[in-house]
Amino acid sequence: MSEPIRVYALSTCIHCKRAKEFLDQCGVEYTPVHLDWMTGQERTDALTEMKQHNPAQSFPTILIGNTVIVGFKKEEIEKALGREPSAS
Amino acid sequence: MTPEQLCETLRKIQEPKGYFFNKDKEMVLELMASLLANKERHGYMVCPCRLASGDRDQDKDIICPCVYREPDVKEYGSCYCGLYVSQDWNEERIPHEYVPERRAPA
């Protein structure tokens, strides 16, 4: 059973897009949480949840199990997934 | 306006100021499309990598080019979202580091 992955993202953010593409390439399942598509209480709740992991409120904020990765950092994602770093 | 047209319009304004588009053209055009999407959505071109409040006054510091571009390009050679970079950055004379968010959280 692999660890749950959540990606707090913006639909317009290039780093978020690249991070999601990379997770797709890794063949892992994840839940994207697009805050710019949300309004009202749903957005407030998602932002509060994200701030607990990344007080800077920057995107993407990626949760892989208990590991928090701020920004699209390929090596950190691979490490959190327990994979060997790929050649970049 | 198309992403290509926006790109050319901004290039003429920003390059003389020493701010160059990232050499990754595909990325630049995606960011142009995002800026146009934000203009459609909010009425102004807010940074695609930041969460807009929808209130122009609250978002004025993150309307592209954001007020953080100058210190970010000075320190890292790239702005936060990677759209604008220095010539040194594009020519790989300086390392391409992750640019942390400089804006204070709300």
pLDDT at A87: 63
Which value, to the nearest 10 degrees, does the dihedral of the CA atoms of residues A68, B24, A14, B16 take?
110
Contacts of B34 in chain A (CB under 8 A): 12-14
Give the model's confidence band at A2: pLDDT under 50 very low, under 70 low, under 90 confident, else very high: confident
B16 vs chain A: nearest CA distance in angstroms?
25
Answer yes or no: do A14 and B38 touch at CB < 8 A: no
Query: Which residue, chain included where needed, has tokens 């970049």?
Result: A88
Whole-angstrom distance, CA of residue A59 vs CA of residue A32: 12
On the question of pLDDT at A9 being above 80, the answer is yes
Whole-angstrom distance, CA of residue A12 vs CA of residue B35: 8
Q: What is the ipTM of this complex?
A: 0.91
Query: Is the Cβ–Cβ distance between B101 and A56 less than 8 Å?
Result: yes
Give the model's confidence band at A88: pLDDT under 50 very low, under 70 low, under 90 confident, else very high: low
Phi, psi values for residue A33, rounded to 5°: -120, 95
- Select the residue of A51, A59, A73 nearest B49 (Cβ to Cβ): A59
pLDDT, one tens digit per residue, over B65-87 is 999 999 999 999 999 999 999 99
pLDDT, one tens digit per residue, over B23-40 is 999 999 999 999 999 999
pLDDT, one tens digit per residue, over A20-71 is 999 999 999 999 999 999 999 999 999 999 999 999 999 999 999 999 999 9
Phi, psi values for residue A47, rounded to 5°: -70, -40
pLDDT at B105: 84
Query: Is the Cβ–Cβ distance between B31 and B83 less than 8 Å?
Result: yes
pLDDT, one tens digit per residue, over B41-64 is 999 999 999 999 999 999 999 999
